[in-house]
Amino acid sequence: MERKEILKRLGYAALPAAKVRVIVDSDVKNEADDPYAIMHHLLVPTFDVRGIFATHFEQKAGHSGDSMERSYQGALKLMELAEIDDVPVLRGCRYPLADKKDAPDSESVRFLIEEAKRDDPRPLYIAIQGAMTNVAAAINRAPEIAKKLVVLWNGGGPYPEGGTEFNLMQDADACRVVLESNAEVWQTPRNVYGSFEVSFAELSCRVRPCGALGEYMFREILAENEREYNPDFLLRTGENWVLGDNTTVGMLIESRRRGHFHEQDAPVIEEDLSYGVTPNGKKIRVYDSLDTRLILEDMFCRLELAYGKGKR
């Protein structure tokens, strides 16, 4: 089924002038919350979703070389359950960059270069929900595309110190490439995306009833919680989860007059992943907060309208 048919169930259409080009770049099988962010992007009519990139999570996977393929297969399964067959899913790079000059090839890298060079006056938003490898590889292969990109970076430690953070750890050199490039960067650091907290009861009430898709998304989180729960891991209590990747939707649907972000010098990523002072004067947008109620409730409503019992 075409995505536009699913979007009709929302009961409203996007204004043509409001539409923005978006690519979702996700380590789909890294954690069970990743499908929530992918589906949220797909259910926003103003998002002209050009494609979904599968991203590796090799640092977590022990450099097995198969994490990108697992993400790719996970994205295909999600699209099947969502009944959307006209949004391309593409394989990304299998490993992190070897260094800042590395320029590996992949379907996602070629697609991004082609899409950025397309005759379209709109900027190209890249929603990064994992490693930055695919975008950095594309910039290294075709530096001229950077000025067309707005990179929505869900990652990095809190300011001013920075430090260890999962998405940054997956490919620190790729983050360095993007931060040093001409690409525009909007960042939601860990302290911001970590505020997107939900309870299992909330997911059972709002997501589980949304057809086969909702049941799958809910069960995947429960299964991961059962496999990996650790009482010493302070992020989780056994009753909660963080839907942190949904920030990249929030950056595009929340009013820009809310004052939830500021502009500052782009940081240098040091070897210990702390933030250093940039030498080139580049500025980036850093979010201090986002409206979690607006964004999470928006996702719940879209899932219910598109896949719930009351779908039209």
Q: What is the mean pLDDT of each run of 10 residues along the chain (312 residues)?
A: 98 97 98 98 99 94 87 98 99 98 98 98 97 99 98 98 96 98 98 97 98 98 95 89 97 94 97 91 96 98 93 64
pLDDT at 79: 99
The percentage of residues in the chain with a pLDDT greater than 90, rounded to a whole number, is 92
Domains of the chain, residue spans: 3-199+242-302
pLDDT of residue 64: 81
- The pLDDT assigned to 274 comes to 98
pLDDT digit string (tens) for 153-167? Answer: 999 999 999 999 999
pLDDT of residue 281: 86
Q: The domain 3-199+242-302 belongs to what CATH superfamily? A: Ribonucleoside hydrolase-like (3.90.245.10)
pLDDT, position 311: 66
Say how many residues make up the chain.
Answer: 312
Q: What is the pLDDT of residue 310?
A: 64
Query: Pick from 29, 32, 51: which is nearest to 207 by CA?
Result: 32
Confidence at residue 232, expressed as pLDDT on a 0 to 100 scale? 86
